[in-house]
Amino acid sequence: MKKTADNTQIITGNYATALAAKLSRVQVVAAYPITPQSPATEALSQFVEKGELDAEYVRVESEHSALAVCIAASTVGARTFTATSANGLAYMCEQLHWAAGARLPIVLACVNRAMSAPWTVLNDQQDSISQRDTGWIQIYARNSQEILDSIIQAYKIAEKVYVPVMVCYDGYILSHTVMPVEVPNQEQVDRFLPPYKPHTVLDPSAPQNLNLVTLANPRRDARGVMCHGYMELRYLLQEALENTLETVVEVDREFGDVFGRSYGGTHWGYRLEDATLILMAMGSVATEATVAVDQLRQRGHRAGLLALRVYRPFPKQDVISATKEAELIVVFDKNISYGYEGATCSDLKAALYGNSIQVPVHNYIVGLGGRDVKARELADAAEGSLRWVEEGRPQKEVEWLNCHI
Q: What is the pLDDT of residues 290-338, one digit of tens each?
A: 999 999 999 999 999 999 999 999 999 999 999 999 999 999 999 999 9
- Cα gap 326→331, rounded to integer Å: 13
Among 162, 192, 222, the domain boundary falls at 192
Domain that holds residue 284: 267-400
Same-domain status, 41 and 186 = yes
Q: Does residue 261 sit within a domain?
A: no
Q: What is the CATH number of the domain that holds 187?
A: 3.40.50.970
- Cα gap 358→346, rounded to integer Å: 15
- SS3 of residue 229 by DSSP: coil
Per-residue pLDDT of the chain (405 residues; tens, 9 = 90+): 555 447 999 999 999 999 999 999 999 999 999 999 999 999 999 999 999 999 999 999 999 999 999 999 999 999 999 999 999 999 999 999 999 999 999 999 999 999 999 999 999 999 999 999 999 999 999 999 999 999 999 999 999 999 999 999 999 999 999 999 999 999 999 999 999 998 877 778 877 777 777 878 888 877 888 888 899 999 999 999 999 999 999 999 999 999 999 999 999 999 999 999 999 999 999 999 999 999 999 999 999 999 999 999 999 999 999 999 999 999 999 999 999 999 999 999 999 997 878 899 999 999 999 999 999 999 999 999 999 999 999 999 999 999 998
Beta-bridge partner residues of 280: 306, 331
Helices 144-161 & 13-23 angle (0-180, nearest 10): 40
Q: Does residue 165 sit within a domain?
A: yes
Among 135, 158, 192, the domain boundary falls at 192
Q: Does residue 225 sit within a domain?
A: no
Q: What is the CATH number of the domain that holds 349?
A: 3.40.50.920
- Cα gap 3→205, rounded to integer Å: 50
Tens-digit pLDDT profile for residues 154-190 = 999 999 999 999 999 999 999 999 999 999 999 999 9
If you write DSSP's letter for every residue of 153-198 in order, what string do you get? HHHHHHHHHT--EEEEEETTTTTS-EEEEEPPPHHHHHHHSPPP--
Contact of 307 with 281, CB cutoff 8 Å: yes
* pTM score over 0.85: yes
Same-domain status, 25 and 170 = yes
**Phi, psi (degrees; rounded to nearest 5) at 212:** -70, 170
Instruction: List the end-to-end C-alpha distance of the chain, in Å, as a whole number.
Output: 42
Whether omega before 36 lies within 30 degrees of 0, making that bond cis, reads yes
For the chain, how many residues are written?
405
- Cα gap 114→88, rounded to integer Å: 11
Nearest to 307 by CA among 329, 288, 283, 328: 283
Nearest to 84 by CA among 39, 132, 47, 32: 32
